[in-house]
Structure 1
Amino acid sequence: MRVLLTGSSGWLGRHIAPLLEAAGHEAIGLDPAPGAHTDIVGSVADRVLVMQIFADRGVEAVIHSGALHKPDIVRYPTQAFVDVNVTGTLNLLEASVAHNVQRFVFTSTTSLMISAAVRAGASERAVWLDENFAPLEPRNIYGITKLAAEQICRLYHHNHALRCIILRTGRFFPEEDDTDLPLSGENNKANEFLNRRLTVEDAAAAHLAALDRAPTLGFDLFLLAAPSPFAPADVVPLKVNAATVVARYFPDAPTLYAARGWQLPGVIDRVYDARRAERVLGFRCRTDFAAVLAAMRDGAPLPFAHDATYQSPLVAGDK
């Protein structure tokens, strides 16, 4: 298939493109920044350009991974988020319907599930997050626009029978967290594989699985994160002493962490439950916390990316 891949120069897009090509598809990369996998430099917010691409390139499917993200809030006005994340998604959906495209995969985010109350972590128990979690009260313009884009995807499936799969991905960025954390970047990322992170390789593979299953599923939404070892019965002890809970599931974790000078999490305030993606989409992340510990145990490289100096191509190009 000829697959339009938005965000092709970004961290996720540059991992999706080779998978598309390995699967025998033709990836047509669209991104506002140049890149190795970008054929067309431009924005999804440009409706004329989007329509022209569909007409000229014979697009048969769309993976829409391009967006302005949470770190962009300090760099771009609110209107830019609406233009790119909402209007850009609408442009792609309209072009898909106009050109009889039958498969549309949309990269969303678990961030839109985190309200101010969830982020504050004031509850006495960890919040268990799956596809049924409600109410959705995004705390910033990034989450608001991604939720709006999800709803437009749902509308276009309802009105036009467009096969559309939404993937709410957990964290997979390589850079440092943009909040002030006491732990090192690698330590923090390793901890997050317990409850909220996945590798970019797994995120990319999930998009290929969604592309394959879209005709069968029609419309669906999946939360994506590494398989968590925890159960709903753990939500109270995770808020009291998470390190003890982790040690119960992984008895050698404290020793492995101590050898690196790392710390297990003292508190875990949320758990992303990705089991429905395994049951319905047939996709399970390959890398989990057990894999992280196995690498530490074997003296192998850690199975996730960490780059404290990473900048998106768009930001790097502005300098």
Structure 2
Amino acid sequence: MRVLLTGSSGWLGRFLAPMLRAAGHEPVGLDVVPGTHTVIVASVADRTAIDRAFADHGIEAVVHGGALHKPDIARYPAQAFVDTNVTGTLNLLEAAAAAAHDRFIFTSTTSLMIRADVRAGKDGGATEAWWLDEDFGPLRPRNIYGVTKLAAEHLCRLYHELHGFDVAILRTGRFFPEDDDTHSEPSGPNLKANEFLNRRLTVEDAARAHIAALERAKGLGCETFILSAPPPFSRDEAADLIADAPAVIAHHFPDAAELYAARGWTLPPHIDRVYDPGRVERLLDYRFDTDFAAILSALRDDAPLPFAHDPDYVSPMVAGG
């Protein structure tokens, strides 16, 4: 299948493009900056460029991963988010409808689920961890990034209803390699390891899930999926996760504290939200390769950590000015 892959020069795109090719597809990369896997240098906000890409390359399906992201809020005005994340998505949906496509894959974000009260967590008076699945609501995104991604999701649902093609909306958890832009403690690798308990996945798992959605979307209608490493917890542990997360973690992983201490790491004192990827496992028969147990296994064996950490990483768009 000839697939238009937007965001092909970005962190997800550099993994997804070769995986698509290995799966027997022909990715046609589109991004605003050049890259190894980028064939078309253009913005998704440019409808003429999108139409030309469809016509010149015989596009059969779209995997729309290109977007402005949360760190871009400090660099770009709100209108740029509307142009890229909303108008860009509309351009692709209209082109897909005109080409009579039967599926559309959209990369969204779990960030749009984090309302002010969810973000406040234990400090805001929460008595149990928020359990975040696809039915969680109401959705009240707290910044322009979340607002525009939610608007783009609504466009995906609308075009599914208007034109009948199947849509997979993939709300991805964290998989960026750089340090967190709001938290400095604990250290980068320690924080990333902790997040595999409740809100992170590897970029490789994110890429493989996109391929699973592309290949299994037919007949699903319009479905939203959360992508995050499967948490070891159950919903009935939500209160304990707020009160004493290390004790809950010790119940599931008795040697976690010892393994962490040997590296000078700390476990989270409390966990205020848990992403539940159960739907993608059920409906797409998808399994994640890396979870918190895999992190501990690497620590036991003194093996390389199974996730990317690069504090010097900058997006190609930022690097290119």
TM-score bracket, normalised by the shorter chain, equals over 0.9
Q: Is 1:35 equivalent to 2:35 in the alignment?
A: yes
One of 232, 252, 258 as aligned partner of 1:229: 232
Cross-structure match for 2:264: 261
Cross-structure match for 1:305: 308
Cross-structure match for 1:64: 64
1:34-183 to structure 2, matched below 5 A, reads: 34-121=34-121, 122=124, 123-183=126-186
Give the SS at the match of 2:82: helix
CA-to-partner distance for each residue in 1:30-63, whole Å, 9 max, x for gaps? 0001100000111000011001111111000000
Measured after TM superposition, the shift of residue 181 of structure 1 is 3.1
1:196-211 to structure 2, matched below 5 A, reads: 196-211=199-214
CA-to-partner distance for each residue in 1:133-155, whole Å, 9 max, x for gaps? 00100000000000000000000
Task: Report the AA paired with residue 173 of structure 1.
Answer: F
Measured after TM superposition, the shift of residue 23 of structure 1 is 1.1
> RMSD of the TM alignment (CA)?
0.7
Measured after TM superposition, the shift of residue 103 of structure 1 is 1.7
Measured after TM superposition, the shift of residue 180 of structure 1 is 2.9
CA contact (8 A) 1:130 1:223 kept: yes
The ranges of structure 1 where at least 4 consecutive aligned residues each deviate by more than 4 angstroms after the TM superposition are: none
Give me the TM-score of the superposition, normalised by structure 2. Answer: 0.98
Moved more, 180-189 or 83-92: 180-189
CA contact (8 A) 1:55 1:99 kept: no
Task: Report the AA paired with residue 71 of structure 1.
Answer: P
Give the SS at the match of 1:179: coil
Measured after TM superposition, the shift of residue 168 of structure 1 is 0.4
Distance 1:163 1:245 in 2: 40
Give the SS at the match of 1:12: helix
CA-to-partner distance for each residue in 1:48-88, whole Å, 9 max, x for gaps? 10011111110000000000000000000000000000000
Give me the TM-score of the superposition, normalised by structure 1. Answer: 0.99
Distance 1:139 1:270 in 2: 16
Q: Is 1:187 equivalent to 2:190 in the alignment?
A: yes
Distance 1:164 1:132 in 2: 17
Distance 2:52 2:318 in 1: 26
Percent identity over the alignment?
67
1:279-290 to structure 2, matched below 5 A, reads: 279-290=282-293
Distance 1:181 1:279 in 2: 36
Cross-structure match for 2:25: 25
CA contact (8 A) 1:128 1:232 kept: yes
Moved more, 215-224 or 189-198: 215-224
Task: Report the AA paired with residue 37 of structure 1.
Answer: H
How many residues of Structure 1 are paired with residues of Structure 2 in the alignment?
318
Cross-structure match for 1:241: 244
Give the SS at the match of 1:309: coil
